[in-house]
Amino acid sequence: MDAVDIKTETDNSPGAARTIRISGAEAVVRSLIAEGVDLVFGYPGGAIMPVYDSLYHFREEIHHVLTRHEQGATHAAQGFARVTGRVGVCIATSGPGATNLITGLADAQIDSTPIVCLTGQVTAGLLGTDAFQETDVVGISTPVTKWNYQITDAAEIPEAIARAFYIARTGRPGPVLLDITKNAQFGELDYAYQPCQGIRSYRPKPVVSVNKVEEAAALINQARRPYVLFGQGIILGEAEQELREFLEKSGIPAAWTLLGLSALPTDHPQNVGMLGMHGNYGPNVLTNECDVLIGLGLRFDDRVTGKVSEYARQAKVVHVEIDPSEIDKIVKADVAVNGDVKEVLPMLTALVEKRDHSAWMSRFRECAAIEQEKIIQKELFPTKAGLTMGEVIRLVSEKTGGEAVVVSDVGQHQMVASRYYNFRRSRSNVTSGGLGTMGFSLPAAIGAKLGCPKREVVAIIGDGSFQMTIQELGTVLQTQVAVKIIILNNEFLGMVRQWQQLFFDRRYSATEMINPDFVQVARGYGLEAESVSERDGLSEAVDRLLESPGSYLLEVRVEKEDNVFPMVPSGASVAEIRLD
């Protein structure tokens, strides 16, 4: 089959953009600038050197952050994208450089994060010959990209980049990879940049069915115990205000998925808490008591639903979702509204009746009181000597006034951070949800801080996760990016250990960690650092972390064998959530 039909001839018609004769590599950088890019993350190598040479020329326009591993570049681009809503960009060379992007691409794909990755590739004539640092990155990355494409001719570059940005950010966002052969970087073209306005085969914005919205509103108006679940769609669709207006008129309690977190302030009176395996008690058990379940911009991940055959069977389901392939994928919708929540929510708000549902809401409060007594109290106000992760998070939450960007990694500390940080602003929770990528936090925090330099960015990382991308401390050093790093060190791969304790008869297979001295390591990278293992002094240490003008690492040695509760055991129904 033919390659993409990208126009190569110069358009000389009146009104057409004037072209300039430049190299493919320069066209790459000029196209990035044309897309508004002023920050990229990457790592150079043989096959991408022409682009790096051009980046050197344009170093005043584009700031390149040298990460210490290409995976770090992808997560940094993700962190940047998640806090800014803009497309994150990373660059790598061919072969191992390109394969190192795969984890980040997979993460961005499952968490709908708009990033564009550019990889160098061997010269087109060598494709398929097992040339030095040749790998079929288009083939490898196909399952984990929204779109990918190999550029073998300089003339294709502007349009391919325009398409890449358009595809990454529109509809349900996602990662795009462009693989650029070396001859295309060296070759010349008549360059002019036209942003992509649309692609014939791609319809990112569904046409909302008014009938479906009316049906949904009718169901909601008849409901006695309606219940809203919202996901990252609210944040991606920038529909936080629309969600609030819908909730405040309809009086419906609302719970969030891990990635929906921060779209609605934690202390909003209708925010009843977190869904899922380690979510709050009420939001889980009451899923099986509501009569109308309203899913807004979420995909009913298995960590949210537990056993699907026993999930909300009593309820009619309304599902508002921009991606039609998510509708009926896991949970069958009685009324499916395919559309952008930003567009659908105001339509729904106009049609729903004003209610307060106070009796139903009080059921959530009763559950919250049970959870407070059985779990939260001892997590936040422990009476034993050992520090809990929860008390650390709550301290950080209070001292930052809920205004920080919290970038958590994966594991127990992630669940605790999500449960106990009181978010006040949207786009403030950055975490690897769908893929559960350990090592995400440190590089993502670097990207987040560079994306919003005026905000406090706190990376909450477990001792296991930290060591997966610990080399990015070098990026912190070189870039002087003021991320605040808190290592919650329990000397275990805590979440796996918890499962081993509960479901594998305490057989702690390969979960104990012999760790380095994290403070020494951090100091070696030029960071200010300290370690705390007792309650006395914790508050002051957190103050020093937050008050430090530069980057800072605080290791908190927490109780080694604490568990995160509540917990919906794997394969169990949300109603079978365990409190201990």
Catalytic entry in 495, 498, 500, 565: 495
The answer to whether residue 109 is catalytic is no
Terminal Cα distance for the chain, rounded: 59
CB 168 within 8 A of CB 174: yes
143 lies in the site for other proteins, by CB under 8 A: yes
Catalytic entry in 80, 150, 165, 182: 182
Token couple for 61: 């326009």
207 lies in the site for other proteins, by CB under 8 A: yes
* Residue spans of alpha helices (H) in 312-401: 341-351, 358-371, 377-380, 389-399
The answer to whether residue 389 is catalytic is no
5 lies in the site for other proteins, by CB under 8 A: yes
- Cα(506)–Cα(497) distance, rounded to whole angstroms? 8
Q: Residue 274: CB partners within 8 Å, gap ≥ 6?
A: 255, 256, 257, 258, 261, 280, 283, 418, 419
Considering the complex, what minimum distance in angstroms separates the CB of residue 5 from other proteins?
8
Q: In the window 325-354, what residues touch other proteins (CB under 8 A)? A: 325, 327-329
1 lies in the site for other proteins, by CB under 8 A: yes
Cβ neighbourhood burial of 515 (10 Å; 0-12, 13-18, 19+): middle
Q: In the window 393-422, what residues touch other proteins (CB under 8 A)? A: none
Catalytic entry in 7, 61, 132, 314: 132
Instruction: Decide whether 328 or 576 has the Cβ nearer to other proteins.
Output: 328
Cβ neighbourhood burial of 265 (10 Å; 0-12, 13-18, 19+): middle
147 lies in the site for other proteins, by CB under 8 A: yes
The answer to whether residue 133 is catalytic is yes
The answer to whether residue 132 is catalytic is yes
* Among the listed residues 58, 186, 202, 499, the single contact to other proteins using CB under 8 A: 202
196 lies in the site for other proteins, by CB under 8 A: no
139 lies in the site for other proteins, by CB under 8 A: yes
- Cα(103)–Cα(94) distance, rounded to whole angstroms? 16
CB 575 within 8 A of CB 312: no
Q: Residue 330: what are its φ and ψ, rounded to 5°?
A: -115, -50
* Among the listed residues 31, 113, 150, 563, the single contact to other proteins using CB under 8 A: 150
Q: What's the DSSP call for residue 288?
A: G
193 lies in the site for other proteins, by CB under 8 A: no
Catalytic entry in 70, 156, 391, 456: 70
205 lies in the site for other proteins, by CB under 8 A: yes
Per-residue binding letters, 153-172, with other proteins (x by CB under 8 A): --------------x-----
Which region, judged by CB under 8 A, interacts with other proteins, from 57-65, 201-209, 412-420, 479-487?
A: 201-209
Q: Evaluate the omega torsion of the peptide bond into residue 226 and state whether it is cis, within 30 degrees of 0.
A: no
- Cα(326)–Cα(298) distance, rounded to whole angstroms? 8
Residues acting as catalytic residues: 70, 132-133, 182, 495
Name the site residues for other proteins (rule: CB under 8 A). Answer: 1-5, 138-139, 142-143, 146-150, 167, 198-203, 205, 207, 323-325, 327-329
